Every structure is written in C-alpha cells, then in structure tokens.
C-alpha cells in the first residue's frame, strides 16, 4: 500500500471488512430486537490485545466501587485478569477449569479482591478444557451451569480469550449481553463480521436472549486521524451501540497490571482511570435501561 495516505490506507482496509453489520444480525434495534437485559456481560473480541482484560478488570472494579456486587470470571488460559488483580493462588488450586468441569462449585473457588469484587481465578490448565469437554453433551453450557450457583451478584463480567472457541461459545451461552472492545487502529474491524456470525449462531440456538450491550473504542489517540477514522467507521456499522465513552491510550493503564492493581488503585487521577469509571457508569445505565423495558 505504498504511496497511500494514512486515510486512504485505512479506507482500503475497511472496504469489505464488515459486510455483515450489526443490523443484519438483529443486534441493533431492528424489529424483534429483544431489549430485556440482565447482568452477565461477556467481554469478547477474538482479536488479541485489543483491551478485553483491561476493560473487564476496570469495569468490574468501578461497578463494585459504585456499590454493585461483582464477580469477574477469568475465562482466558493466559490468566491476565487473575494476575492483573494481584490474586495469589496456591499451585493447583481450583478455579474456572474445575468449576466448568463440575468438579467444584463456583462459590468454592471465588476469591475476594475487595468486599464487593470477587474473582473466579484461572491458570493455564484452562487451555485443556476444550478437549475435556468435547465429549460432553452440554459442553457449550458448562459455564452457564457453573454460574447458576453464583447468583448472588449484580454483575458477572467474563474476560474471554482471544479466540472464537468452545470457551467463547460458553461465554456467549452464559451471558445476557456482550461488550466488544475495539482497538482504534488499522485492522480494527477485521474479524468482527465473523464474531457477529458466531453471536448470531448462539442466538439462534443456545442463547436466544443474548444482546449486544455495546462496542467500546480502546487505546484511542485523539492526535491521530486514524483513531477518529476508525471510530467513524465503527459508528457507521454499530450506530448507537458504540459507547459514548472512549478509552484513551494511557500508559498508566498498561502499567497497572504489573503492580497487580486495577487502575482505580494504581492511579485514580489518570485519564485511563477517569475513562473506565465513566464506562462503568455507561455500562450500568445501559444494563438498567435494558432491564426496565
């Protein structure tokens, strides 16, 4: 693509990248759109490194700080939510893996991070789960069944792995709604049509009530035209499903996990902290609005 301006290159990439838009799969206020929402939220984008964990950890933390009782489920074998919150585990201690296999109950593995925020921790063993589940008849419902015993929460936030796999199908089957972080960069929209196809597949069978809660722009840099172009393109496809709050690129957000802290504890005055605090408010507002319809 030599010789193209940044804008032209962006346009080129996006052309054809999202043939199947939100409306086509019935997720954007078209007729028949089911508005009732409850509060199991899967944070999912099969693209790696777009801000899923950062979003899950910090939205969960701010919801809890605002008075909600929250369970954060680490559904990624990379265990970034677990380490990012500084949760220590003994070698071989039970977590998401054992709960989804039905070997132990959710409430027996959750760890308090602070009084209103609990974590269902995980480790690399979760990667083997897909193989373990493959012969089970209800393999897509393992997480839903596991969470049935964890109904004491106002919110369950699920941090998904970067894949469209049995683990993510489990998340979509268990969830009431889906939050998609989209990184404000060149290949942002790539793969979203595939993601929406999987969502549609789950809606037509395993979980007809699954909603799109919203799409949030992450790592936004207001100084680049690319960021605003990507945002414009995402808004064209997802309309008012795009959250008003935009998450800026902010080094404090990247530093916080290495200290085992959410941004609220690491640097509550940073731009990133303010953005996630506002995003949690917007998430809460949308969930409540969905419930009241």
Ligand X SMILES: Nc1ncnc2c1ncn2[C@@H]1O[C@H](COP(=O)(O)OP(=O)(O)OP(=O)(O)O)[C@@H](O)[C@H]1O
What region, left, alpha or beta, does residue 266 occupy, with left being phi > 0 and alpha being psi -120 to 50 degrees?
Answer: alpha
Of 47, 52, 237, 277, the one binding Mg ion by CB under 5 A:
52
Could you tell me the two tokens for 148? 């049935």
Could you tell me the two tokens for 25? 């799969």
Binding partner of 50, given Mg ion, ligand X, none, CB within 5-8 angstroms per partner class: ligand X
Smallest distance from ligand X to CB 45, Å = 6
* Binding flag, residue 162, ligand X (CB under 6 A): yes
* Binding flag, residue 47, Mg ion (CB under 5 A): no
Helix, strand, or coil here: 275? helix
* Binding flag, residue 231, ligand X (CB under 6 A): no
Cross-strand bridge partners of residue 156: 40, 71
Could you tell me which stretch among 45-53, 105-113, 205-213, 221-229 binds ligand X (CB under 6 A)? 45-53
* Binding flag, residue 53, Mg ion (CB under 5 A): yes
Could you tell me the two tokens for 84? 């990012």
* Run of H or E residues at 114: strand 111-114
Could you tell me which stretch among 14-22, 48-56, 90-98, 201-209 binds ligand X (CB under 6 A)? 48-56
Could you tell me which stretch among 24-32, 227-235, 248-256, 280-288 binds ligand X (CB under 6 A)? 248-256
* Binding flag, residue 272, ligand X (CB under 6 A): yes
Binding pattern to ligand X, positions 78-117, x when CB under 6 A?
A: x-x-------------------------------------
Contacts with ligand X by CB under 6 A lie at: 48-54, 76, 78, 80, 162, 218-219, 247, 249-250, 253-254, 257, 272
Contacts with Mg ion by CB under 5 A lie at: 52-53, 80
């Amino acid at each position: 693509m030599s010789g193209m301006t940044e804008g032209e290159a962006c346009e080129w990439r996006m052309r054809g990248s999202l043939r199947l838009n939100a409306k086509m799969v019935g997720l954007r206020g078209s007729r028949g759109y089911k508005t009732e929402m409850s509060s199991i939220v899967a944070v999912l984008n099969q693209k790696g490194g777009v801000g899923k964990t950062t979003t899950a950890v910090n939205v969960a933390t701010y919801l809890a700080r605002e008075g909600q009782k929250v369970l954060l489920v680490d559904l990624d074998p990379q265990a970034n939510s677990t380490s990012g919150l500084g949760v220590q585990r003994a070698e071989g201690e039970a977590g998401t893996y054992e709960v989804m296999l039905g070997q132990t109950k959710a409430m027996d593995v959750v760890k308090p991070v602070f009084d209103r925020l609990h974590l269902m921790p995980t480790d690399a063993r979760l990667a083997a789960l897909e193989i373990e589940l493959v012969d089970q008849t209800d393999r897509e419902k393992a997480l839903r069944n596991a969470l049935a015993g964890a109904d004491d929460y106002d919110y369950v936030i699920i941090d998904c792995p970067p894949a469209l796999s049995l683990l993510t199908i489990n998340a979509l089957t268990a969830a009431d709604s889906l939050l998609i972080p989209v990184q404000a960069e060149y290949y942002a929209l790539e793969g979203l049509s595939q993601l929406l196809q999987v969502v549609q597949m789950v809606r037509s069978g395993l979980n007809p009530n699954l909603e799109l809660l919203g799409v949030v722009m992450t790592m936004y840099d207001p100084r680049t035209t690319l960021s605003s172009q990507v945002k414009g393109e995402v808004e064209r496809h997802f309309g008012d499903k795009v959250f008003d709050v935009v998450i800026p690129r902010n080094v404090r957000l990247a530093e916080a996990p290495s200290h085992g802290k959410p941004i609220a504890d690491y640097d509550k005055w940073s731009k990133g902290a303010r953005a996630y605090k506002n995003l949690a408010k917007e998430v809460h507002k949308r969930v409540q609005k969905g419930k009241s319809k």
